[in-house]
Amino acid sequence: MSQGVEWALHTCLNLTWVDAPAPAGVLAAFYELPPAYLNKQLQALVRAGILTSVPGPRGGFQLARPPETISLLDIVTAIEGPEELLRCDQILTKGPGSHAGVDYRQSCAFAQAMRVADLAWRRELTAKTVADVRADVVRLHPSSPADTRSRIDALR
């Protein structure tokens, strides 16, 4: 799974600590990431309705909605796309009794089993929101909110 997901996850979390928009360069500097490339991931989050962007001075990115309404699956899907973990629908088109136009995701027993597992995975990621993770972080590292806020301000 792509590295960009990890960046997007942590960046969304960082955005929960601040109120003003944060430029992509600041968010990248926080973890020493390549700014232009992180920017591309943030654009995907904007297209997905997770972030909003503000151009101009004092502009940047901010959360588009409350962290309680942003699930981890929202972020994963925004970066990785909606495809399933394992795509198992091609090989049977070459097997015996194959017919063009049939949806092999329906007739392949493996595809169905993999989809069950896929849905279990998505169910967990849907149940966990950015707000949940933020609460976990506060529990583990109580100084995190203030630390992150001041570090982002220092990078502006």
Partner DNA sequence: AGATCCTGGACATCTAGTATCCAGGAATGA
Partner DNA sequence: TCATTCCTGGATACTAGATGTCCAGGATCT
| Neighbour count for residue 16 (Cβ, 10 Å) | 19
CB of 39 to a second copy, least distance (A): 16
Question: Is 71 in contact with 128 (CB distance < 8 Å)?
Answer: yes
Site for a second copy contains 151 (CB under 8 A): yes
Question: Is 27 in contact with 38 (CB distance < 8 Å)?
Answer: yes
CB of 84 to a second copy, least distance (A): 9
CB of 112 to a second copy, least distance (A): 7
DSSP label at 152?
H
End-to-end CA distance of the chain: 31
Site for a second copy contains 100 (CB under 8 A): no
Question: Is 85 in contact with 121 (CB distance < 8 Å)?
Answer: yes
Site for a second copy contains 99 (CB under 8 A): no
Strand blocks (E) in 12-152:
51-54, 60-63
CB of 20 to DNA, least distance (A): 11
Q: Which of 69, 117, 153, 156 is in the footprint of a second copy by CB under 8 A?
A: 117
CA distance 124 to 154: 36
Site for a second copy contains 67 (CB under 8 A): no
- Which parts of this chain interact with a second copy (CB under 8 A)? 1, 3, 5-7, 9-10, 13, 30-33, 72, 76, 85-88, 90-92, 94-97, 107, 109-110, 112-114, 116-118, 120-125, 128, 132-133, 136-137, 140, 147-148, 151
